[in-house]
Amino acid sequence: MKQLHYMVLVFLMAGLISLQAQLKVAGSGETLLIKDGTVLTITNGTIENGDILIKNGKITAVKQEIKAANNMKIIDASGMYVMPGIIDSHSHMGIEGGINEATSTIVPQISIAEVVRHDDLAFQRALAGGVTAINTLHGSANPIGGLNAVLKLKFGKPAEEILIKEAQKSVKFALGENPKRVHPFPDTRMGVIFSVRRAFTEAKEYMQKWDEYQQKKKGKMKRTAWEKEYGLIPPQKDYTMETLAEVLKGKIDVICHGYRADEMLALMQLADEIGFTIGSFEHCLEGYKIAKELKKHNVVASMFADAWAYKMEAFDAIPYNCALLTRQGVLVTINSDSNERVRRLYQEAAKAVKYGGLNETEALKTITLNPARRLGLEHRLGSIEKGKDADLAIFNGHPFSVYSRVEMTLIEGEVYFNRSTCPTVNTILSQLNKEKEE
């Protein structure tokens, strides 16, 4: 049985790769026109019977009644809904070799961009849910983990083409149960905070050594007698400290796993004290308790829609968190943190309408424009506008209906998921049986 499962997986992967190759050839370099769909632009309302013109992977027009030319490939979206490609602001897909470098408490020098797996089958599950981009992260085993990577889900293309290099660089922090149960030290919540303070204290000392070296090299600082006689020796390079120095300089921000309000407050106070920027709190389940503080520090709340009570830290989580924070002016994103939940993020966003009464656009923003803003990519992603990447999800009904499903997903004008042509497990099993008979 295990061997059969393995064979199915191999054939499924081969079928998907073959299908993707066909789709890419069909979409590359062509002018594409999506006709007569209900277009949920996010930024400019809803366009009934709307058309989207795409050239060279970019949206060039969004309006009604765009005239089709002879050389255009046309997708008939009649009776369907078109929304921007969904962006998952917290993922662990596409990482080769594990997500936690748990051998040390402080590892900001490691980078996911160096181990991106371009053929992760989880990409296909995500594409089937209309997801076109992900922020894939180090795990939460360390008070200070590694650097993130933002990916387009161009299944099968080289890592160089999948990476969005201009996206916001972030280093993963973690508070609470996860880091304190992995290492001998820290073993307490206060130990976690101290670990971060000590690391940045060392980073400041490291920066000071290099600054003094550069000042002496330029003749702006007096050299010692020994240095005058024997010359300057640069400080030893330390990649851990180099990365933390980039955080202190504001070139990299912090993306922090955190559940409890008290711990998130403690890290914000530490950030003020030391001088680094927290870009987002991930999970942020007690965020509703500290909405004013999150708003003051301009911290994004990246959360689950309604997951709670699965561990003690989640005890005070409520499904109204998203709506309460949004109404307080906090930028909110709804994420998956899961290779399974990622396929239904549009339904997760819909829960913000049920719990708290966000309107349709506000709820859709949590999985489109808001994560694009968090990642510094709002000029390219998150809405259907002229000049933006043609990353789109086409549904057979409104995305918030439980009866709707994704029919087609496009990235930069190329079809990467097409339900009508995608091979299924049953199809592959039938093919296997046929080959056995032959």
Which residues, other chains included, contact 217 with Cβ-Cβ below 8 Å and sequence gap of 6+?
A: 232
Task: Look up residue 350 and give its amino acid.
Answer: A
Which pair of tokens denotes residue 78? 């009649």
Q: Do 107 and 52 share a structural domain? A: no
Summarised one tens digit per residue, pLDDT across range 182-232 is 988 999 999 999 999 999 999 999 999 999 999 999 999 999 999 999 999
Q: Do 270 and 137 share a structural domain? A: yes
Summarised one tens digit per residue, pLDDT across range 319-339 is 999 999 999 999 999 999 999
CATH classification at residue 224:
3.20.20.140
Closest Cα to residue 328, out of 371, 294, 285?
294
CATH classification at residue 77:
2.30.40.10
Domain extent for 268: 86-381
Q: Do 305 and 184 share a structural domain? A: yes
Our count of domains for the chain comes to 2
d(CA 416, CA 14): 15
Summarised one tens digit per residue, pLDDT across range 16-59 is 544 444 444 345 568 999 999 999 999 999 999 999 999 999 99
Summarised one tens digit per residue, pLDDT across range 159-172 is 999 999 999 999 99
Residue 343 has pLDDT above 90, yes or no: yes
Establish if 406 belongs to a structural domain. no
Label residue 426 by pLDDT band (50, 70, 90).
low
Q: Do 129 and 28 share a structural domain? A: no
Contact 259, 236 (CB under 8 A): no
d(CA 94, CA 115): 8
The β-bridge relationship of strands 131-136 and 144-147 is unpaired
Q: Do 252 and 113 share a structural domain? A: yes
Segment 112-121 mean pLDDT = 94
d(CA 100, CA 174): 12
SS3 37: strand
Establish if 150 belongs to a structural domain. yes
Q: Distances in Å between the alpha carbon of 438 and those of 10, 280, 423?
A: 20, 57, 21
Partners of 410 in the beta sheet?
392, 415
| Prediction pTM value | 0.91
Q: Do 101 and 245 share a structural domain? A: yes
Task: Look up residue 128 and give its amino acid.
Answer: A
DSSP secondary structure string for all residues of 142-170: SSEEEE-EEEE--TTS-HHHHB-TTSPPE
Q: Do 48 and 90 share a structural domain? A: no
Q: Do 191 and 67 share a structural domain? A: no
Establish if 405 belongs to a structural domain. no
SS3 74: strand
Q: Do 36 and 152 share a structural domain? A: no
SS3 256: strand
